[in-house]
């Protein structure tokens, strides 16, 4: 939708401030195909909003939240997070801030946080709770917060619709050994506010 692309470009230019007038912001890779809002008469309702959650001299974090309804039992919601390097004028991907080979440890931390969220014991399989599988794929839909790095899953990605959007935040203290130099520098900058 041309209007949406224009709004997104204007928002990106606004939050990037010092960046050029044509920002090179790219969507999160795992959501790239769904980055366009639903189109056509089959959608009875559609709304979206953008929220800037962090803005520092070199970083901006914002999300694009979409709600839509096409009939049936319920509507749907999706949220895409963007972590933008203001100086380089581009998206910072999860792989840009975590050390290579840290995926196994990151996976364990995420699954532990999901167990804690749903009051599952460490020996219980995730699927014994609300999750579809015993292992949850590390999402590229991530964000920096004041307290840690967040990970986001839309309804149906890892659990039933009734669970809604699932977001967890892993504290920076737990991630120190997994973040690379860039990730550590960004975490420090975000924490200082």
Average pLDDT, the chain: 85
How much is the average pLDDT of 120-142?
96
Q: 142-180: per-residue pLDDT in tens?
A: 999 999 999 999 999 999 999 999 999 999 999 999 999
Q: Answer whether residue 7 shows pLDDT above 80.
A: no
Q: Answer whether residue 85 shows pLDDT above 80.
A: yes
Q: Answer whether residue 36 shows pLDDT above 90.
A: no
Distance of CA 179 to the CA centre of its chain: 17
How much is the average pLDDT of 71-78?
88
How much is the average pLDDT of 107-131?
96
Report pLDDT for 89. Answer: 85
Least confident among 12-21, 85-94, 113-122, 161-170: 12-21
CA dihedral 17, 23, 28, 31 (to 10 degrees): 120
pLDDT, greater one: 88 or 37: 88
Distance CA 166, CA 37 (A): 21
| Range 95-99 contact pairs with CB under 8 angstroms and sequence separation of 24 or more | 96/182, 96/183, 97/149, 97/179, 97/180, 97/182, 97/183, 97/186, 98/178, 98/179, 98/180, 98/183, 99/178, 99/179, 99/180
């Amino acid at each position: 939708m041309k209007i949406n692309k224009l709004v997104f470009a204007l928002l990106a230019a606004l939050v990037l401030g010092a960046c050029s007038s044509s920002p090179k912001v790219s969507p999160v890779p795992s959501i790239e195909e769904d980055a366009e809002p639903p189109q056509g008469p089959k959608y009875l309702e559609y709304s979206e909003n953008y929220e800037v959650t962090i803005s520092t001299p070199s970083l901006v974090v914002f999300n694009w939240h979409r709600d839509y309804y096409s009939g049936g039992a319920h509507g749907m919601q999706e949220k895409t997070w963007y972590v933008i390097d203001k100086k380089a004028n581009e998206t910072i991907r999860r792989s840009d801030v975590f050390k290579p080979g840290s995926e196994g440890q990151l996976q364990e931390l995420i699954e532990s946080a999901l167990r804690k969220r749903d009051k599952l014991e460490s020996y219980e399989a995730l699927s014994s709770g609300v999750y579809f599988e015993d292992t949850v794929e590390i999402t590229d839909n991530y964000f920096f917060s004041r307290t840690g790095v967040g990970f986001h899953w839309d309804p149906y990605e890892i659990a039933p619709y009734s669970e809604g959007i699932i977001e967890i935040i892993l504290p920076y203290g737990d991630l120190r050994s997994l973040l690379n130099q860039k990730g550590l520098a960004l975490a420090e900058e975000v924490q200082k506010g």
